[in-house]
Structures are given as C-alpha cells and as structure tokens.
C-alpha cells in the first residue's frame, strides 16, 4: 500500500508543477516586439518575399483622355502620354497567398527622369494578398471577382473579366496565341521598370499617419511564353469600381504571357508628410 501511495505522489508532483508553470505562462502579457502583422497571434500572411509560379498576364494597353488621367496620378509623378494598361492576372501558385485572380489599371509615368509605372487600381479575390498588399506596400487593392481563361464556347479567344460583386466592370478579349513576342524584352521590362504606389494609412483618430510614394521592382523573372494578337476591351461604369473613369479612345497593343517572378519588399521614395 505504501509503495502505491509513493508511486502516485511521484506521478502527481510533476503534473502539478506543470499545471502551475502553464498557468504562470498563460497569465503573462503577450509580447508585441516580434509581431509581424495583424492579427498579431495569427497574421493574415507570412513575411516576404513572395514567389509566384506560372503567373499569367493579359495586358491590354489603350489610349485615354489626358485630362482624366491627370486627375488620377499624384505628384511628383509625371505622365508622358495618355496610356493605360489594363491587366488581367491569374496567379495559381503564390507563396503565402495561395491561388487567386487579379485585375486593375497601371499607368506609364516618369519619376526623377526614369520611366516607371503607377499602379492605380487592383481588384482581387483573396484576403491574404489584399491585406499584405495594402499593409506592406500600399497596393490599391479591393475585393472583387476577376477571371482569365480561354472562352469555353468559342475556344479560340482569351477572355479577361472583372466583376465587382455580380456586376461586370471590364471585359478584355484577345485572339489566343496569334503571334509570339520577344520574351527577353518582357523580362527586361518586368525587372528594370520600377512600379509606384500611393500608400495611405490613417491614425485611429482619423488623421493621416502615412502618406508615401512607394517603389518596388520585381525580381528573378523567367518569362516562359509570350504572345500577341487582335484585342479589344470594354469598361463599364460602376460607383465603387470606377475603371471607366479612364475612357477608351483606342486599343494600342496587347500581350499575353506566363512567367515566374518574385515580389520583394519595396522602399519609400517620397514622403508627403515631410
């Protein structure tokens, strides 16, 4: 009997000590110095950089109204010509973000004498890259429902479509793989042309905490295939997805390509608060 009591005591003492230790740990305040993003205990996305495999683009470049364009592009960026690139992007394999679709408008600009691109709007169907894009770089991302793929009925047309909710906002079409395009030229443009974003973050009292012009450059780009062909684009007015505020005068060019690339962190190149 004494042996049984001793054995029970030997088992229970470590367990009781463990409960006390766990209770002490559980009662300690959570440290925030190593928190990467929100929510602190389970961020919506992991730290970067972010690798994309088989990222597929349909980019239709069109001429628009210069006065309308000036209202959309912030200083100190300059507008060399009244062009807009409307993008439909499929991202089936994105580290940390998963598989999703994206669409938006990009405007060729000049900053300090160097050609670049200003990202005006982005619409996508995945929470993680929306949160990461807005919080880290200042990507102008909103939840919507873009798509990109070959028309299942005609079978000879690449179709990009952007829906905001259930409403069509943009439809782009291109003849599927009509003519090959120089892959090295696209790689060079993706890696060397800087991209600019207007990052705005409010304070809890509603005042502005951050208003910055952010630059990023894509890295480690491999262009696997690239094509062009006849293309067209339709934009539809929508109160909350105002892509049609930059009207189409004429289609200038289009390109369809598939690539692997890395999105690294960016840098602040202009601070509007200073």
Asked if 162 contacts 103 with a C-beta cutoff of 8 angstroms, the reply is: yes
Count other Cβ atoms within 10 Å, centred on residue 72.
Answer: 17
Asked if 259 contacts 222 with a C-beta cutoff of 8 angstroms, the reply is: yes
Establish whether 141 is a catalytic residue. yes
What pLDDT shows up at residue 19?
43
0.75 surpassed by pTM: yes
What pLDDT shows up at residue 27?
63
The phi and psi torsions of 3 (rounded to 5 degrees) equal -65, -40
How would you write the chain as a 3-class SS string? CHHHHHHHHHHHHHHHHHHHHHHHHHCCCCCCCCCCCCCCCCCCCCCCCEEEEEEEEEEEEEECCHHHHHCCCCCCCECCCCEEEEEEEEEEEECCCEEEEEEEEEEEEEECCEEEEEEEEEEECCHHHHHHHHHHHCCCEEECEEEEEECCCCCCEEEEEEEECCEEEEEEEEECCCEECCHHHHHHHHHHCCEEEEEEEECCCCCEEEEEEEEECCEEEEEEEEEECCEEEEECCCCCCCHHHCCCCEEEEEEEEEEEEEECCCEEEEECCC
What is the Cα–Cα distance from 64 to 251, expressed in whole angstroms? 9
Residues of the chain with pLDDT under 50: 1-2, 4-25
What pLDDT shows up at residue 116?
98
Percentage of the residues of the chain whose pLDDT score is greater than 90: 86
Q: Which of 2, 85, 112, 141 is catalytic?
A: 141
Domains of the chain as residue ranges with CATH: 50-271 (2.40.400.10)
What pLDDT shows up at residue 26?
56
Q: Beta partners for 77?
A: none
Six token digits for residue 79: 């507008």
């Amino acid at each position: 009997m004494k042996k049984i009591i001793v054995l029970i005591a030997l088992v229970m003492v470590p367990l009781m000590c463990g409960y006390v230790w766990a209770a002490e740990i559980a009662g300690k305040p959570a440290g925030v110095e190593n928190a990467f993003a929100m929510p602190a205990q389970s961020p919506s996305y992991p730290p970067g950089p972010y690798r994309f495999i088989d990222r597929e683009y349909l980019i239709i470049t069109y001429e628009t109204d210069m006065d309308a364009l000036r209202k959309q592009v912030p200083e100190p960026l300059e507008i060399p010509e009244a062009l807009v690139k409307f993008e439909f992007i499929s991202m089936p394999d994105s580290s940390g973000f998963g598989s999703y679709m994206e669409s938006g408008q990009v405007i060729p600009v000049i900053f300090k004498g160097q050609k670049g691109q200003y990202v005006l709007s982005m619409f996508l169907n995945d929470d993680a890259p929306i949160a990461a894009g807005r919080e880290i770089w200042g990507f102008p991302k909103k939840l919507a429902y873009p798509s990109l793929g070959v028309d299942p009925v005609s079978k000879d047309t690449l179709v990009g479509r952007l829906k905001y909710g259930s409403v069509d906002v943009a439809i782009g079409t291109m003849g599927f793989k009509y003519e090959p395009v120089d892959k090295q030229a696209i790689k060079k443009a993706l890696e060397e042309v800087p991209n600019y974003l207007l990052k705005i973050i409010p304070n809890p009292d509603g005042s502005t905490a951050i208003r910055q012009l952010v630059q990023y450059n894509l890295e480690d780009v491999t262009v696997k295939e690239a094509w062009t062909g006849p293309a067209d684009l339709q934009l539809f007015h929508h109160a909350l997805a105002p892509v049609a505020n930059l009207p189409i005068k004429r289609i200038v060019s289009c390109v369809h390509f598939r690539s692997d690339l890395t999105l690294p962190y960016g840098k602040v190149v202009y601070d509007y608060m200073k």
